Structures are given as structure tokens and as C-alpha cells.
């Protein structure tokens, strides 16, 4: 029997505010379950702008999520990072720090930042991979409890961009691709490093993402053209594997505009 990719769970929320609240609920539930099960929650954060509202909501003492999160047992990582200093306006670390980490009691040694200040992006990737391999010791692949991902209008995710050679990577956990469209290097988890997570959650909002959402969820273009389709297709052969991970999509109504009603 050909193993089928696990069926993604998809929820469409009316607007960005509802989307952030749904994501916060999902993350709190997963964090508490992971800590109950094994004493820790390992979460790879997404960059870009979409997750900011989610991070702010989780850190808000009046929103009802902050007090429910097991922050002391939470380890945060990043799915990708720009090749900039950690206090640079484009830094994914800076965005998460300002929106959430400065306001919640995650122990400093539980914050596993990508060292993107390294002049050589490849060395930054090597250092981050070494940290991940030390943390997920004796594992063939990192098994994050949750990898949070965004989606670009070109269907890139993390820093896996169309045409990138990293899309074919099946050994490294972390890579430092040059992104011609951005004229810059990025540091990113590779597709298999993301794919082996217990759960992958795509958080997508806005009508500018509607075509990409449809292409990834309902289309059949190859990952070289639509990189987010690399996630959970590698693990398609693992679908029969009891350890196969979950795939969740939380999108707002605008981003769902082009999906078929089914
Ligand atoms: C990054 C992200 C990237 C992001 C998408 C969507 O470093 O920018 O990892 O993959 O999630 O580009 O970005 P927005 O949320 O800003 O639309």
C-alpha cells in the first residue's frame, strides 16, 4: 500500500485576531501535554510578521494564555533566521524577544538562538546544528514537539525558497542557503529536520497568501516550485509510522479565499 501523506488538519478563522487566539490555544494545549508526558516542550518559532500577534497574545498577562503555558519547561528554537545581528530590525530572534520572550519566564538557557551574528552564515548553521545535535542527543533527527511555520506568497516556508538546493537536503539538520531573491544568506532548518517534528503548524493570514495556500494544500507542483510542499511529503513514507507527525494549518478567511469549499 502506498503510504499516504498524513491528512492535514485545517481550520479557517474569521480574522487575524481569532487566528492568533486559535494558535495560542493550540500551542498551550500541546505545551501542557508535552510537559505532562516528558517534562519539556520543544518549540521552533517562526519568523516574519504573522506570528507577532500570537507571541504577544501568549505573553499578555490579561489574555488567559500566559498563565497556562509551562514556560519554565519550554525550550524555544527558531526554524530560521536572517543573517543579521540579534538586535537588527530584521532579526526573527529580536521580534520574538520583543513580542514574547522578554515578558515570560522561559529560562535564558532554554532559549536556543541561531548565532546569525557569525560573519560566515555556513558557520552559523554549523554551530546551530551542533547545538541541536547536543540537545536532541542520539536522535537521527530533531524531534521538536512543535515547529511553527509561516508561508510566503511564493509558498516558501522557513528559509526554504523556490529553487533552493536546500530543498533536496537529506542529511544536514541546518543549512545556510544564499537567497538570490533577497540577495542575502539565511540560516534554516532543512526539510527533514522540520519534517521529523511531532507537529508542524502553518500559521497563515492575508489575501496575499491565498494563492500560495491553495497551491500548497490543493496543488501538485513540486517542492522546488512550492517549498512548503516539502513538509510532510518526505514523511509520507512515514505515514504508517506510529511516530509520524501531525500537520496543522491555521489560516484566516482571507488566506483561505482560493481553497475549494471541500
Ligand atoms: C522569515 C520566515 C518566513 C515567513 C514567511 C511569511 O524569516 O521571514 O521564516 O518563512 O514565515 O516569509 O512571512 P510573514 O508572516 O511576514 O508574511
Helix (H), strand (E) at residue 212: helix 210-217
Share of the chain above pLDDT 90, in %: 90
Q: How far is the CA of 50 from the centre of ligand 1 (A)?
A: 7
> Model-level pTM?
0.95
Residue spans per domain, the chain: 9-252
Q: How far is the CA of 173 from the centre of ligand 1 (A)?
A: 19
From 19, 45, 46, 83, the mutation candidate for ligand 1 (largest count of ligand atoms within 8 A of CB) is 46
- Nearest-5° Cα angle at 201, 182 to 154: 30
Atom of ligand 1 nearest to the CA of 80: 9
Which residues of the chain fall below pLDDT 50? 1-5, 234-239
**Ligand 1 center to 157 CA (angstroms):** 7
Question: How far from chain centre, in Å, is Cα 164?
Answer: 18
Beta bridge partners of 142: none
Q: Which one of 3.30.1380.20, 3.40.605.10, 3.10.20.740, 3.40.50.1360 gives the CATH number of domain 9-252?
A: 3.40.50.1360
Q: Which residues have CB under 6 Å of ligand 1?
A: 46-50, 80, 92, 150-152, 156-159
Q: Probe ligand 1: pick from 93, 151, 201, max atoms within 8 Å of CB?
A: 151
Q: Residue 235's pLDDT is what?
A: 45
Asked if 246 and 11 count as a contact pair (C-beta separation under 8 A), the reply is: no
**Per-residue pLDDT at 261:** 75
Kind of pairing, strands 199-204 and 146-149?
A: parallel
The whole-number pLDDT of residue 236 equals 44
pLDDT (tens digit, 9 = 90+) per residue, 84-97? Answer: 999 999 999 999 99
pLDDT tens digits, residue range 15-50? 999 999 999 999 999 999 999 999 999 999 999 999
Ligand 1 centroid – CA 35 distance (Å)? 28
Which of the listed residues 44, 96, 152, 250 should we mutate to test ligand 1's pocket, taking the one with most ligand atoms within 8 A of CB?
152
Amino acid at each position: 500500500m502506498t503510504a499516504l501523506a498524513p491528512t492535514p488538519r485545517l481550520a479557517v478563522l474569521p480574522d487575524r485576531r481569532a487566528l492568533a487566539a486559535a494558535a495560542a490555544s493550540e500551542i498551550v494545549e500541546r505545551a501542557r501535554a508535552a510537559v505532562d508526558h516528558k517534562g519539556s516542550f520543544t518549540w521552533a518559532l517562526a519568523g516574519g510578521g504573522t506570528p507577532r500577534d500570537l507571541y504577544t497574545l501568549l505573553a499578555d498577562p490579561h489574555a488567559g494564555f500566559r498563565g497556562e503555558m509551562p514556560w519554565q519547561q519550554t525550550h524555544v528554537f527558531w526554524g530560521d533566521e536572517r543573517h543579521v545581528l540579534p538586535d537588527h530590525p530584521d532579526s526573527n530572534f529580536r521580534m520574538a524577544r520583543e513580542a514574547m520572550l522578554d515578558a515570560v519566564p522561559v529560562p535564558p538557557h532554554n532559549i536556543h538562538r541561531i548565532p546569525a551574528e557569525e560573519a560566515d552564515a555556513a558557520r552559523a548553521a554549523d554551530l546551530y546544528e551542533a547545538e541541536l545535535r547536543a540537545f536532541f542527543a542520539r536522535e537521527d533527527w530533531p524531534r521538536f514537539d512543535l515547529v511553527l511555520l509561516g508561508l510566503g506568497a511564493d509558498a516558501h516556508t522557513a528559509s526554504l525558497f523556490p529553487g533552493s538546493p536546500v530543498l533536496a537536503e537529506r542529511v544536514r539538520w541546518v543549512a545556510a542557503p544564499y537567497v538570490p531573491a533577497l540577495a542575502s544568506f539565511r540560516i534554516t532548518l532543512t526539510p527533514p529536520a522540520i519534517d521529523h517534528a511531532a507537529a508542524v503548524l502553518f500559521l497563515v493570514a492575508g489575501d496575499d497568501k491565498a494563492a500560495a495556500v491553495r497551491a500548497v494544500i490543493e496543488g501538485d507542483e513540486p517542492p522546488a516550485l512550492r517549498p512548503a510542499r516539502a513538509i510532510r511529503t518526505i514523511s509520507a513514507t512515514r505515514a504508517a509510522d506510529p511516530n509520524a507527525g501531525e500537520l496543522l494549518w491555521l489560516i484566516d478567511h482571507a488566506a483561505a479565499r482560493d481553497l475549494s469549499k471541500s
